[in-house]
Amino acid sequence: MKLAGRTETHASKPGRGQSRREFLLAGVAAPPVLSGNYGGFRPANHCLLLMLSGGPGHLDTWDPKPQAPADVRGPFRPLATNVAGVYISEIFPRTARHASKYSIIRSVHHAGPALHEAGQELIQTGRWQADATAWPHIGCAAAWARGSGRRPAVAALLCGASPGGTCPGQGAGILGAECEPLVLDCGQDSQCLRSQVPLTAAQSSLARCVVSMSPPRESELRRYGASRFGADCLLARRLLESGATSVTVNMAEAVPGSPAWDAHGREPFPSPESYRRSAGPVFDTAFSTLLEDLSASGLLGETVVAVLSEFGRSPRLNKPGGRDHWPECWSVLLAGGPIHGGRILGASDDLGAYPADRPVTPAEVAATIYSAMGIPPGFRLPLVDGSPSELVEPGALPIAELLA
């Protein structure tokens, strides 16, 4: 297993032995992370983000449109779930049996460019980085906030097989090098740990935990699907059981012939039909097993689980039979902690092109995850000039309908 890291450093303030980050934090009056019965619910202690990089087609996954024209509804039929009136794509038969554990937001949208990089930053930070401010990943910020900003817990990032290991929006940004996630390139191997840079104390602690883990049992790997994504989901579960505050798993296979969501339908990209034989079964097996295990251990009640992507895909099939980038409307799943399960929030129009009810922004998704962990929307971060800024876009509020 390779361990990747970043080399960002912060200069000390002359004569005080104080890092720039510590100096800035001294002037930030951030409200404390709330605990106990915050907002009428018990906050979760962990978050688990599953990032489906590439952008799954929402009509082919979580928002089927069986009454739409053939060039819109695509190749898959809707499948009834264990919640009356809730349907998802037939490519997720096992996930359908757990719909009571998660809710689907079908009206997520953003107004940024239809580029992977832009959407990945937005959905994973709740911020658009147009002003060049490096906003932190949700997992990094959550770990920092729950560590009171002084002794930050560390976030773990399982990088999948994407080029370069990670995607935009997955760093600590303005929080500094000590809050960077421990980046793990694992697959099925949790015994080979190599560090490219010196680790922080928090990273070293989690790294020792990973190294000390026994190899995953073959029976467990088979339950999770014996795929790269399945092995990473299994390790994510074990890291949460070991106390990790935040874990992110990338489903970002970029090798030709491997599971992929970027279904343009022309070489080298797959078509939506490929979801049936590759990406769909890989995700379905790993995610459903993860929900089962977290629920059985009681950890689901302490962990916010989010299934994210940078955008959806165009409602009408293109000439090769694929779908192109579509940030105007797509779906996100939330589960665990105080998040209600078995609900549909928002709706797309008849073609799945635009939100028709309860539009939701990436900032509101981020605010919901933070709030579910007891981190209030007004929590502030230090900017480089020493001024405080809200964790998410000003005015973005958590989705109250999904919080218990």
Q: Which residues on neighbouring strands pair with residue 148, listed in sequence order?
A: none
Distance of CA 210 to the CA centre of its chain: 21
Picking from 212, 227, 218, 208, the residue whose alpha carbon sits closest to that of residue 160 is: 227
Q: Round to whole Å and give the CA distance between 76 and 275.
A: 10
Q: What is the pLDDT of residue 4?
A: 40
DSSP 185-252: E-TT--S--EESSPPPHHHHHHHHHHHHSPPPPHHHHHHHTSSHHHHHHHHHHHHHHTT-SEEEEE--
Structure tokens at 271: 């078509």
Q: How many residues comprise the chain?
A: 404
- Read off the pTM: 0.89
Residue for token pair 């739409």? 68
Bin 286: left if φ > 0, else alpha if -120 < ψ < 50, else beta: alpha
Percent over 70 (pLDDT), the chain: 82
Question: Residues 229-256: pLDDT tens digits?
Answer: 999 999 999 999 988 999 999 997 655 5
The single-letter code of the amino acid at 56 is P
- Sole residue written with tokens 């004569």: 15
List 48's β-bridge partners, or say none: 247, 305
- Residue 22: the pLDDT is 40
End-to-end CA distance of the chain: 39
Residues 32-63: pLDDT tens digits? Answer: 555 555 568 899 999 999 999 999 999 999 99
Please give the sequence-ordered ranges of beta strands (E in DSSP) within 256-399, or none if there are none. Answer: 303-308, 312-313, 325-326, 330-335, 344-345, 347-348, 355-357, 380-382, 388-390
Backbone angles phi, psi at 370, to 5 degrees: -60, -50
Is 273 a residue whose pLDDT tops 60? yes
Residue pair 346/360 in contact (Cβ under 8 Å)? The answer is: yes
Give the helix, strand, coil percentages of the chain, each rounded to 5.
30, 20, 50
> What φ, ψ does residue 88 adopt, rounded to 5°?
-130, -175
- Hey, what amino acid is at 201? A
- Condensed to tens digits (0 to 9), the pLDDT of residues 290-348 reads 999 999 999 999 999 999 999 999 999 999 999 999 999 999 999 999 999 999 999 99
pLDDT of 387: 74
pLDDT attached to residue 390 = 85
| CA dist., res. 37 & res. 144, Å (int) | 21
Nearest 10 degrees: CA dihedral of 57, 157, 377, 364?
Answer: 0
- Nearest alpha-carbon partner for 203 in 161, 160, 152: 152
**Predicted confidence (pLDDT) per residue in 66-119, tens digit:** 999 999 999 999 999 999 999 999 999 999 999 999 999 999 999 999 999 999
Helix (H) / strand (E) element for 356: namely strand 355-357
- Cβ distance 247 to 303 under 8 Å? no
When the pLDDT of each residue in the chain is averaged and rounded to a whole number, the result is: 85
Peptide bond connecting 388 to the previous residue in cis, omega within 30 degrees of 0 = no
pLDDT recorded at residue 265: 94
- Split at pLDDT 50, 70, 90, the class of 140 is very high
Q: Is the pLDDT of residue 149 over 60?
A: no
Convert the pLDDT of each residue in 152-181 to its tens digit: 577 888 876 555 556 889 999 988 888 888
Strands 388-390, 155-158: pairing is unpaired
Residue 103 or residue 385, greater confidence:
103
Angle separating helix axes 201-212 and 228-241, nearest 10 degrees: 110
